[in-house]
A and B are shown apart, each in its own frame.
Chain A
Amino acid sequence: DIQMTQSPSTLSASVGDRVTITCRASQSISSWLAWYQQKPGKAPNLLIYKASSLESGVPSRFGGSGSGTEFTLSLSSLQPDDFATYYCQHYNSSSWTFGQGTKVEIK
């Protein structure tokens, strides 16, 4: 099975900062990667699909990149609404796998 490893587990940042979250796959997954945002007590929300495609309605300050085994989610200028937990997700051969999550906290 392909394992997805996110880093860091927790990230402390301030409003206006640029932040980057990394997701690494244990083997090449081409561009089959998505990113989700989850706020406490709420369902996850799809941000990015196919590694770099922005979901409709998601602010352009969110960006995704990468292919193969290393992927990044970037937020160009952190806003108060962006403090949340972020998950990467991969699909492979009838199995879907999430990373363990990255919590973005207020510094």
Chain B
Amino acid sequence: AQKVTQAQTEISVVEKEDVTLDCVYETRDTTYYLFWYKQPPSGELVFLIRRNSFDEQNEISGRYSWNFQKSTSSFNFTITASQVVDSAVYFCALSEAEGYSTLTFGKGTMLLVSP
């Protein structure tokens, strides 16, 4: 069975601080996908990134960066120089890479960025 753990329930930072959201996953599959989604107060999930289990390269997109380490089954997300608009709930998710698989989500981390 697949499982995603986001141990941080809530993180509070002051604007311009860097913040890292942790994600640890469990799967017996050798090929899988990892995702991060952002959920603002409006409710819809906004896709941020998708990573194939064979691609362990870190990725940077503007102020966002992701660190994928297969050895520790972790897929951590860092926001550099956080802004108030980054305040949201962030979800890490996992899916099999075969068939019509679905997403298994972590419980989410609420990020509060204050001015």
A binds B: no
